[in-house]
Amino acid sequence: DNIEIVKVPGSWEMPIVARELARQKRHDAIIALGAVIRGETPHFDYVAGEAARGLAETAAGTGIPVGFGVLTCNTIEQAVDRSGAKSGNKGFEAATTAIEMANLMRRLRDPSA
């Protein structure tokens, strides 16, 4: 219901935007969705690894849960399959986890709530 969508140019840019959103304290959780498709160079490994690391650091450093829905796939077809076609919906899973974590963090911060 109360969802803000912020688009970034690529997965590499997700951590800095997620961190800024978390710092603003306007959101109970952040859900990072995207896909990194393996190519013929090590670029895939750098982008995927740093995106994951940066998003994890954002959550740990700000206390705002970040749902990790960045697919790391060998092909576009695999990404499509993992985003709702044949192999489940990793975006839905990331969103559900982010909501569960936001609720948990709220209870931990205010046990009377």
Predicted confidence at residue 1, as pLDDT, reads 66
What's the CATH number where 67 sits?
3.40.50.960
Angle between helix 14-24 and helix 43-62 axes, rounded to 10 deg: 10
Backbone angles phi, psi at 31, to 5 degrees: -120, 115
- Asked if 42 contacts 6 with a C-beta cutoff of 8 angstroms, the reply is no
Residue 113 resides in a domain = no
**Cα distances (Å, whole numbers) of residue 73 to 27, 79, 83, 90, 97:** 29, 6, 11, 12, 21
* pTM of structure: 0.89
| Active-site choice (25, 43, 86, 106) | 43
- What is the total count of domains within the chain? 1
Whether 27 sits among the annotated catalytic residues: the reply is: no
Q: What is the pLDDT of residues 6-58, one digit of tens each?
A: 999 999 999 999 999 999 999 999 999 999 999 988 899 999 999 999 999 99
Residue 96 resides in a domain = yes
Residue 60 resides in a domain = yes
What is the domain extent for residue 71?
A: 11-105
Residue 83 resides in a domain = yes
